[in-house]
Amino acid sequence: MSLFAWTLLAAVLIGNTAGQLLLKAASIHADSAGEDDHWRVLLSHPLLWLGVAVYLAEFFLWLAFLSVVPLWQGGMVACIDILLVMVGGRLIFGEQITPARAGAISMIAVGVLMVGLGGN
């Protein structure tokens, strides 16, 4: 991959991970409001709209990335995002990484690596 493709890949990974974490943060805030006000609080929370904006920007970065790499390489990005979101959830929200989750994520990482090294 070219330097441009690597730059786009990094931006896509950061954007998708940030979008997921922002939506989670907005959801946690809305959950504290109770069932009756959940949607009102969620829709008025700035992190929700920041997450939506990040996803919109990431969508266009994703299209740009797919335009410069083969589709099979682009498809690997979705698998890498799973790793980053899990680590972000652990670091930011204190979510647990159980042995089963760690094993599953390890298998995903090995699979992505195998596909990536599989050649053209």
Give Cβ neighbours of residue 24 (< 8 Å, ≥ 6 apart): 89, 93
Q: 């647990």: which residue's tokens? A: 96
DSSP the chain: --HHHHHHHHHHHHHHHHHHHHHHHHHHHHHTT-TTTHHHHHHH-HHHHHHHHHHHHHHHHHHHHHHHS-HHHHHHHHHHHHHHHHHHHHHHH-----HHHHHHHHHHHHHHHHHHTT--
Q: If you average pLDDT over every residue of the chain, what do you get?
A: 88
> Going residue by residue through the chain (120 aa), what tens digit of pLDDT does each one get?
789 998 999 999 999 999 999 999 999 888 876 777 888 888 999 999 999 999 999 999 999 999 998 888 787 777 788 889 999 999 999 999 999 998 998 888 888 778 766 665
Q: Which pTM does this prediction carry?
A: 0.83
Which pLDDT belongs to residue 67? 94
